[in-house]
Structure 1
Amino acid sequence: MLRIILAVLAGLIAGSIGITVVEKIGHALYPPPVEVGAGDMEALKVYVSQAPFMALFFIILAYALAAVISGFTATKISNNGKYTAALICGIIFLLMTVYMMISLPTPIWFWILGILVWGLVFVGHKLALKTKKI
């Protein structure tokens, strides 16, 4: 049980790092206004409602990478061959994504992809099972 908890934590950390890296690339290509970086939630809402497609799509790409990374990491660390740790990571990230989408004015395509993309934790899980044990 402790190993699964550690696997989930490691998966969440690894996935969060993946999100951060891809979002930084997206922000470099499509910089948000300075007010957004200062933590102004109203400015963030305005930006999201007017952001170009690719600025938002980079977030979906970040989620996709995070899903695969977290599923892979959680499966490798749990070391039991079951998808439980990967599934828990996917559910936690999905809940965080839904909260963000409720908080911000995201378009319907973002909702659809933002929910579906977390199924990629199972791709990470399968990849982890196909690689050598650590």
Structure 2
Amino acid sequence: MFGVGMSTAYARKLRWCTLNARFKDSAIVARPGAIRAGDRETFMKIVRFILALAVGIVIFSLTVAAVGAIGHGFYPPPAEFQQIGDRMSDAMRAQDQAAFERTQVELAEAMAAYLPTAPTGSFIFVVAAWITGAFVGGGVAAFVTSWGRRSVAMLVGVADVGAIILVSSLLPGPGWMPFVGIAGSLIAAFAAGTLVASGTRTKPSLSRKAAP
């Protein structure tokens, strides 16, 4: 009886060791796959973040152009600008570098002569275009990405700030324009990211409440 008990206990111990070894082997095999899955998820989040930033900047540019077009409807620029623009387009199509540079100089001189007498409303539309572009572009970028919604919206706002600085250096207008445009664009981008982030955060709770 004692020998039978010993053999039974030994068999149980051997079976337990075998199962434990199999469990360890399966865990070792499964762990790299889990790590790779986590890496893929992180990689896709980064790709989606970059894609969201690109989409946001494109939407920002389109929004600025749309609001600017509305402003031109209220405050049309001088006809001379259109004529110079047509000559510039012709020079680009003909690949005439000298003619293109001449039209650039003409446009800069015409703008310098027009800006001091331009109506204040035209400048307000420009600033409104910057701020609206930051809000819409930042909101779209925050909606596209799955994480860092405020961050990607603020990056769109930073791109807007870069465009404002560039435009202000090339075509100087009233001194208040860049300051109001930069501050308004950053605030608008942050507000858009915050709104989208808070909206997406409340969706799961609403769905859980609606579930029976």
TM-score (norm 2): 0.58
One-letter identity of the residue aligned with 1:116: A
Name which of structure 1's ranges 30-39 and 84-93 shifts more when overlaid on structure 2: 30-39
Pairwise CA distance, 1:35:
2.5
Aligned length: 133
Is 2:76 the counterpart of 1:9? no
Question: 1:12–1:89: 8 Å Cα contact kept in structure 2?
Answer: yes
Pairwise CA distance, 1:108:
1.2
Deviations 1:61-103 (Å, cap 9, x if unpaired)? 1111111101101111112144221121111110111011011
Pairwise CA distance, 1:46:
2.4
Aligned to 2:154: 87
**Separation of aligned partners in 1, 2:53 and 2:112:** 31
Is 2:116 the counterpart of 1:71? no
Compare relative contact order (CA 8 Å, sep 6+) and give the higher one, 1 or 2.
1
Select the residue among 116, 121, 133 that pairs with 2:189: 121
SS at match of 2:192: helix
**Separation of aligned partners in 2, 1:86 and 1:13:** 13
Aligned to 2:80: 35
Which structure's residues are more often helix, by fraction? Answer: 2
Aligned to 1:44: 111
One-letter identity of the residue aligned with 1:102: S
Select the residue among 13, 26, 39 that pairs with 2:71: 26
Matches within 5 A, 1:89-108: 89-108=156-175
Name which of structure 1's ranges 12-21 and 74-83 shifts more when overlaid on structure 2: 74-83
Deviations 1:89-122 (Å, cap 9, x if unpaired)? 1111101110110111211111221221211101
Q: What is the alpha-carbon root mean square deviation over aligned residues?
A: 1.6
Aligned to 2:27: none
Task: Work out the percentage of aligned pairs sharing the same amino acid.
Answer: 29
- 5+ unaligned residues in a row in structure 1: which ranges? none
Deviations 1:34-53 (Å, cap 9, x if unpaired)? 23233323222322232111
Pairwise CA distance, 1:3:
1.1
TM-score (norm 1): 0.89
SS at match of 2:76: coil
**Separation of aligned partners in 1, 2:116 and 2:55:** 33
**Separation of aligned partners in 2, 1:82 and 1:68:** 13
